[in-house]
Amino acid sequence: MASIFTRIIEGEIPGSFILKQERWVAFLDINPVSPGHILLVPRQEVALLPELDGASLAETGAWLARLDCALRQVTGCAAVSVLLRDGPVAGQEVPHLHWHLIPRHSGDRAHHFASGSYASDEERERMRAALQAALDRVQG
Ligand code: 5GP
């Protein structure tokens, strides 16, 4: 059965997309640790980093850096937590490889990543659109 992220990528389940590229997509986490929390997901459905095809793997760093930059621009965050849970014992709940990019603010005490939510669909859409526009401005 397809993972929940494949179902989002294929449009079966709604997603707030910031990025749709040949090998990678990025969309907002439905339960953000803080507003703007992004998931960077390969289209290839593999659970673990070592299973990822070489071409996708080669692009990972560039997409992470661009998304990090867009997040800083849009949220004004002081830092970004970039996190990969590479297997269930590391806390991975969705068995489809994904990087978390979490905006961090001074004193947020979010080291344990308690999940929150968006106040409304409109608020989430504003965040999605702002991040997508910022990403377009960030050089690859
Ligand atoms: P993990 O624990 O596997 O590292 O993270 C899975 C993440 O996927 C969680 O942060 C969770 O909020 C997010 N998530 C789970 N289901 C959905 C969904 O249907 N849509 C979106 N956008 N995010 C989801």
Residues 96-139 pLDDT 10s = 999 999 999 999 877 766 678 999 999 999 999 999 999 888 86
**pTM listed for this prediction:** 0.90
- CB distance 29 to ligand 1 below 6 Å: yes
**Percent helix, percent strand, percent coil in the chain, to nearest 5:** 35, 20, 45
- CB distance 15 to ligand 1 below 6 Å: yes
Q: Which atom of ligand 1 is nearest to the CA of 27?
A: 22
Residues 46-55 pLDDT 10s = 999 999 999 9
The type of residue at 70 is: A
Burial of residue 11 (number of CB atoms within 10 Å: 0-12, 13-18, 19+): exposed
What is the rounded distance in angstroms from the CA atom of residue 54 to the CA atom of residue 27?
A: 22
Token readout for 109 is: 């005490």
